[in-house]
Structure 1
């Protein structure tokens, strides 16, 4: 975490050096700061920051891909005369453990069009999800577990 804060400090220093206080300047400062930290990583002794950045980037790209595909599927169903709805409720066993992880996972599922997190069981081991296009319950469960949940756990732990 200290390397992340140091990266932010380097980004602000970059903004001061360039004389620009804008989002693109901050982002380019983060990139320059990241490169500086990466080149001096042996001095810090830890490389977890650099692996986390890769995991977070992979997670964001994966979620954006799933978000775009889900939006296209819903838009296709709206624009075509045939109704492709096959709704259902699926029990998804949870590997996420903390309240923050469960909340993030449930909210990310809800943000994806066509799915809605309904409830978490009292023992916090199962998430109930409403699905608009449920073709195969096991496949849907597998996609959530091996896709979104697995990547979220990698980022959070």
Structure 2
């Protein structure tokens, strides 16, 4: 997988050098073009295709996370600007599927980066995470959304 990634980056830089335009859109286009070329070559050679399934999942996760981030920013900003507070703070005990230190750290970062949520503590056996939520209207719904939208998709990328 690392080999395909490095080849993709190399093809991206070749594209940028050939076009002579060092810009964000040209770099993204070069990356997409390199990805497509490598996908076609590996498809005909029957090589490992893990890279070609993981990269779209990474981009989908980034878009999903940014959507959740913007939604949370809107909620917090609206609550700060208006005179009435709509906060319903609470602390939940969340049972994680993440096992390794890296997986737990990445999950904690995703939670902490979202406005209105912060990781308070981690159990000694690293099975539970305690999360402070600023807008906790439905505990089960929050846990299900965290499990299905963030943790499961994050673990698909990492594992």
TM-score if structure 1 supplies the norm length? 0.94
Determine helix, strand or coil for the equivalent of 1:40. Answer: helix
Alpha-carbon distance, 1:8 to partner: 0.4
Cross-structure match for 1:139: 141
Cross-structure match for 1:41: 42
Alpha-carbon distance, 1:41 to partner: 2.1
- Cα distance in 2 for partners of 1:147, 1:94 equals 13
Determine helix, strand or coil for the equivalent of 2:120. Answer: strand
- Cα distance in 1 for partners of 2:52, 2:82 equals 45
Is 1:125 the counterpart of 2:136? The answer is no
Cross-structure match for 1:14: 15
Alpha-carbon distance, 1:40 to partner: 1.4
Q: How many pairs align?
A: 157
Alpha-carbon distance, 1:81 to partner: 2.0
- Cα distance in 2 for partners of 1:115, 1:89 equals 10
- Cα distance in 2 for partners of 1:133, 1:8 equals 41
Determine helix, strand or coil for the equivalent of 1:90. Answer: strand
Alpha-carbon distance, 1:96 to partner: 0.8
Aligned-residue CA RMSD in angstroms?
A: 1.3
Structure 2 unmatched runs, 5+? none
- Cα distance in 2 for partners of 1:44, 1:96 equals 32
- Cα distance in 2 for partners of 1:58, 1:92 equals 24
- Cα distance in 2 for partners of 1:46, 1:25 equals 27
Alpha-carbon distance, 1:44 to partner: 5.0
